[in-house]
Amino acid sequence: MSRSFGIVNIVVILFIAALLTGYMNYIHKENDEIERLKLSYAIDYSTDAGAAAMLETGSLDMDYTKNKSFTVDPQLALDTFLDVFCFNYDMQPTAENKALIKDYIPVATVATFDGFYLASQQQVKNGGGNYPDDTNINAVPKDVGWDLIFGMKMPYTYNFGSTSYALNMGLDYSLALTGSSLTKEFGLPPTAAGTMSLTEAKATINTIISNDMAYSIDKTNELNPNWKNSFYIPSQLTTFSGVNPIEGPSFIVLVQGLNITTSRPISGFSLSGSKIDAVRMIAGYTRGGIKYYSYVDKNPSGFAGLTIEDLFTTEKAAALKGYYFDTEFMQ
């Protein structure tokens, strides 16, 4: 009787132990998923803020003759990303904390109208970094550190035959370099199957960016063997499948191996940006004592001496301001 009772107790204890183990594993996985979700939101919010910052600066230098063309500041985008990312993890955006976050960013990219800036981990003097500049893991760190540095602007280059083409997001012309001769060619460049399509042009720009990001990560792993983790390019990022394609000024950041709040490193990436579209402006004016609106381009002669009182981007905005559809000028 006592032996049977002992066996029952052992079975019960093992059953309870199995339940506790399963519960602890569930809790661990649940916490891990929460932290991954937190990281995902942190990266998304930070890249959105970075993209907004580089577009809201007062020196965009917009060129209205080239769709989607204006100047952006990649460093401003990265600095804003680091500030917001620190706040997401209850950290003050000090130089030390931002340098800590940079250690987990192998690559970042700012895509513009006619080229892109790529930030990669590079050796800098007087950096005071955590990694020595030689292969001896036990070496005393020298006066050399690592920092996330933007390189010079790179074009969206496409080669066909002996000619190199520089594409842009406007997709209505390209710059062709043959030998030492540079010419502007309207329309998209040729391919073996005929003229490049819009879809092919967009895919080419996306591929150029993702390939350069992958190459940069490979070089980082090769040049600095003392990283706390090896970086990799996510499969989603190789073709940008499952995310919006790059069709306007964009900011892409990859965060990997983050273990600030977790025991296990977690990773994530985000693409944020804005698509620039041409807007048909609407003018508001008073004629015969009545407030009307019509498209500006409908009346290039200056609305027959009428004074434009306000400008709008949509008909709804003009109507909300008390202007009525002008049947005479909108025909």
pLDDT tens for 261-300 read: 776 776 766 666 555 455 677 888 888 888 888 887 776 5
* C-alpha 212, offset from chain centre: 14
Q: pLDDT, tens digit, for every residue of 80-115?
A: 999 999 998 888 999 899 988 888 888 899 888 889
**Which residue(s) pair with 163 in the sheet?**
160, 178
Q: Is the pLDDT reported for residue 331 higher than 80?
A: no
Contact assessment for residue 217 and residue 209, using Cβ atoms and an 8 Å cutoff:
no
Top pLDDT among 87 and 140 is at 87
Q: pLDDT, tens digit, for every residue of 239-254?
A: 444 444 677 778 888 8
The one-letter code for the residue type at 109 is: T
Mean pLDDT of 144-162: 87
Domain edges within the chain: 27-273, 282-325
CA dihedral 174, 178, 179, 180 (to 10 degrees): -40
pLDDT at 174: 86
Q: What is the pTM of this model?
A: 0.68
H or E segment to which residue 290 belongs: strand 290-295
Strands 107-111 and 324-325: unpaired
Tokens encoding 201: 């042009």
Among residues 91, 113, 122, which one has the least CA distance to residue 261? Answer: 91
Strands 290-295 and 324-325: parallel
Beta sheet of 282-287, edge-to-edge order: 308-312, 282-287, 290-295, 324-325
Backbone angles phi and psi of 320, in degrees to 5: -65, -25
Backbone angles phi and psi of 279, in degrees to 5: -115, 135
Q: Is the pLDDT reported for residue 321 higher than 70?
A: yes
Distances (CA, A) of 208 to 171, 175, 239, 240: 15, 17, 10, 11
Q: pLDDT, tens digit, for every residue of 15-41?
A: 777 777 776 776 666 677 777 788 888
